[in-house]
């Protein structure tokens, strides 16, 4: 698989990331047998909605490469064992998004995903396992009301073993919800294991993420200009928050917002900027069940700004 990366700024800021590191799944998506997507399957190039829908249908392994910006009339529902890639800078979908439901082993990388009009999310993951969302740019605008667009990336209904890495999320109100309801404990408890690493959240409202019931490892992310709240652990969720940078963020981390039951949090070596975290319950999640490498805190902002988003393509 041919891989194009944008490395100039990374080298300028002294980063040490290799193409192998950028091209390797990390975090919770490495567990439960791992996440390989369409590896070993045929490669199909698509340039319109009908071709995309046909290419991702079924559960046979397949690598689907999007060559243009596709305007969607409805959500696209990938089957299991699919890798969906951007074949050129600026390739992606707009107007709706991907609904990854009741499947397993799906990868979405190198796309622009924009303007997902409610009730559709940019990416929605429901009752699915082993999903890797990497190096995408999610955006809309904040010129409409907060309910005009829906979530950029939502994970719900007992989805599990998810990694969200190196994405840029910007110009949204509702960014990333994990666990859709306070009343869904029976389905979600013990599920919703998710890693967020090296993402860039900028000019957004909240849900970075908002996590109910699940377990979240949140490290090496950059948060800028967040006007409501950042990480929200609620309904007994456990989050481990490590080496993140917060710049002009209202309430960067909280455990007692918006739900009847509080969440739990452990924080290590974060730069909170001019704000302070609000941790009402110290968590017990301190040791993720996988190996991982972190950037030094003083390098996180430069590395994430240079590398996160639609900075990778697969011709």
Which residues are catalytic, by number? Answer: 207
User: 256: buried, middle or exposed (CB in 10 Å: 19+, 13-18, 0-12)?
Assistant: middle
Helix (H) or strand (E) run with residue 196 in it: strand 193-197
Tokens 């993720």 correspond to: 288
Of 154, 170, 145, the residue nearest 224 (C-alpha) = 170
Of 200, 163, 164, 175, the residue nearest 303 (C-alpha) = 200
Of 127, 132, 123, the residue nearest 150 (C-alpha) = 123
For 129-164, give the DSSP string.
EEEEEES-EEE--SSS-TTTB--SEEEETT-EEEEE
Tally the C-alpha atoms within 13 A of residue 67's C-alpha that lie toward its C-beta. 8
Region for 59 from its dihedrals, namely left if φ exceeds 0, alpha if ψ lies in -120 to 50, beta otherwise: alpha
């Amino acid at each position: 698989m041919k891989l194009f990366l944008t490395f100039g700024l990374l080298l300028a800021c002294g980063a040490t990331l290799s193409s192998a590191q950028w091209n390797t799944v990390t975090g919770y998506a490495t567990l439960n047998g791992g996440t390989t997507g369409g590896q070993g399957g045929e490669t199909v190039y698509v340039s319109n909605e009908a071709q995309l829908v046909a290419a991702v249908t079924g559960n046979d392994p397949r690598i689907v490469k999007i060559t243009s910006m596709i305007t969607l009339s409805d959500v696209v529902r990938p089957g299991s064992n699919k890798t969906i890639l951007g074949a050129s800078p600026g390739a992606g979908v707009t107007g709706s998004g991907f609904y990854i439901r009741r499947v397993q082993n799906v990868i979405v990388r190198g796309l622009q995903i924009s303007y997902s009009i409610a009730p559709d999310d940019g990416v929605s993951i429901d009752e699915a396992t082993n999903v890797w969302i990497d190096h995408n740019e999610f955006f809309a605008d904040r010129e409409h009301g907060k309910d005009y667009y829906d979530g950029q990336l939502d994970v719900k209904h007992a989805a599990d073993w998810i990694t969200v890495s190196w994405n840029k999320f910007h110009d949204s109100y509702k960014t990333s919800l994990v666990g859709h309801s306070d009343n869904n404990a029976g389905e979600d408890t013990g599920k919703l294991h998710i890693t967020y690493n090296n993402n860039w959240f900028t000019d957004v409202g909240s849900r970075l993420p908002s996590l109910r019931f699940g377990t979240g490892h949140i490290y090496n992310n950059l948060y800028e200009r967040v006007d409501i709240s950042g990480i929200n652990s609620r309904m007994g969720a456990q989050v481990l928050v490590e080496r993140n940078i917060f710049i002009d963020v209202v309430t960067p981390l909280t455990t007692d917002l918006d739900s009847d039951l509080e969440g739990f949090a452990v924080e290590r070596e974060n730069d909170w900027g001019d704000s302070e975290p609000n941790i009402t319950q110290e968590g017990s999640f301190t040791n993720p069940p996988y190996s991982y490498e972190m950037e030094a805190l003083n390098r996180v902002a430069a590395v994430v700004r240079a590398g996160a988003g639609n900075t990778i393509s697969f011709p």
